[in-house]
Amino acid sequence: MIKSKEKVMKVKNIYEKIWLELEKVNAVGTGKTRDGRLGLVISLSCDDAATKEIFPGEIEGVPIEFKITGETDAL
């Protein structure tokens, strides 16, 4: 069970840099999951099953969900 927003941010900060190196990952953020819990939201450029399989359903007690955002161009 997630104790606080600080816990979610701590987990995000630990893994974000690693996950952003994955080809189809655009961003790693925080937000509410479909069931109302605070968790991590992984933004993907496309609905790619192979990329989704890399991630567990939750990490260190923090749930992970995906959002398909399409391709992005960072400056």
List, for residues 8-59, the tens digit of each pLDDT value.
999 999 999 999 999 999 999 999 999 999 999 999 999 999 999 999 999 9
**Confidence check: pLDDT of 60 > 80:** yes
* Whole-number Å distance between alpha carbons of 64 and 6: 16
For residue 14, count other CB atoms closer than 10 A to its CB: 11
Specify the pLDDT at position 74.
Answer: 60
Lookup: tokens for 54: 């890399």
In this prediction, residue 4 has a pLDDT band, given cuts at 50, 70 and 90, of confident
* Whole-number Å distance between alpha carbons of 8 and 38: 7
pLDDT, greater one: 2 or 63: 63
